[in-house]
Amino acid sequence: MKVVLGFLVAVLATTAFALADPVSVDHGGTYVGSVVVEPGQVIDGDLDVVLGNATIEGTVDGNVNVAGGNVIFRGGHVTGQANAVGGEVVQDVVPWAPSIENYGYFTSNRRLWWTITWDVIVLVMFLIFPVRARMALDRLEQHPGVSTLAGLCGWVAVIPIAVMLFVTFILWPLIPVEFVLLAAAVFVGKAALALLVGRRFYELLQPRTTPAPLLALVLGLVLLTAAELVPVLGVMVTLLIMLVGLGAVLLTFVPEHSMAGTMGTPPRSAIGGPPMPLG
């Protein structure tokens, strides 16, 4: 922990130093520390800034990308997009200038917005296919290892199945259908995993109560989204969700009595809340 805190302090100190003395630039490229594009200057190509602000008073014929700082517009113009990671895109001096959305504010946070968009789709898929999501939840609870294995087999089989449909010529229209079904299965699988995570977390806080399915789903999506946004680790979390979720949905097409007879796992109670029968 001390090492991590020391590293953060060093980064913050470096950032503060870098932000103190902006340097005038006359060409594109990558710069460490704050830079400024003077009025009347035209920068050809992208302008990348690390640990500093990019103050735009002139014109940048390309994109402006800042990591660890802000993009500040002072009457300047960017023909491409202005992206800020660890900062923001702001207007200065010219309050009547176009809104910051036009400079890619949402692009700088596109990962968060994309994740939230997928979560909304997961919520919609749960509302459309509640029974399938509940069945996938049951498979996750009773056979987590088999769900992972089934998901791995499912992802491996995607390309061979598409190739088989392609070589038949007649079945070409089924290729997009395969990928639509794959996406739907992943979303439903994530809904099942969010249900499981949300319920477990809620029961840690309130051991004597069981949340309603919708509450458990929303809580689980918040927790999974937070985990997916963690640098590096978030990619692994996303891959795990896609793997286990797909496997759980594939197992819903296997009769429960076959699963019980093969695995010998005793049935568990379904998630609480309003009744949502499996059939």
- pLDDT for 149-171, tens place per residue? 999 999 999 999 999 988 888 88
Of 88, 65, 2, 34, nearest in space to 10 by CA: 2
Q: Note whether 84 and 70 are within 8 A (CB).
A: yes
**Residues listed for the chain:** 279
Judged against a pLDDT cut of 80, whether residue 276 lies above it is answered with: no
Top pLDDT among 258 and 67 is at: 67
- Long-range CB contact pairs, 80-86, < 8 A, 24+: 80/46, 81/107, 82/54, 82/56, 82/108, 83/107, 83/108, 84/108
Give the Cα separation of 197 and 68 in Å (integer).
Answer: 33
Confidence of residue 128 (pLDDT cuts 50, 70, 90): very high
Query: Cα(260)–Cα(268) distance, rounded to whole angstroms?
Result: 11
**Residue-wise pLDDT tens digits, 217-229:** 999 999 999 998 8
Whole-number pLDDT of residue 97 = 43
How does residue 189 score in pLDDT terms, banded at 50, 70 and 90?
Answer: very high
pLDDT in tens, 44-57: 888 888 878 888 88
Q: How confident is the model at residue 132 (pLDDT cuts 50, 70, 90)?
A: very high
Residue 140 has a pLDDT of 93
pLDDT band at 230 (very low <50, low <70, confident <90, very high): confident
Q: What percentage of the chain carries pLDDT values higher than 70?
A: 76
The structural domains of the chain, with segments of one domain joined by +, span: 17-108, 112-263
Average pLDDT over residues 93-104: 43
Tell which residue, 223, 55, 253, has the closest CA to residue 147: 253
Structure confidence at residue 86 (pLDDT): 65
- Whole-number Å distance between alpha carbons of 190 and 133: 9
What's the pLDDT at 101? Answer: 40
Tokens 């949300």 belong to residue: 198
Residue 3 has pLDDT above 60, yes or no: no
Q: What is the pLDDT of residue 72?
A: 87
Mean pLDDT of the chain: 79
pLDDT band with cut points at 50, 70 and 90 for residue 259: low
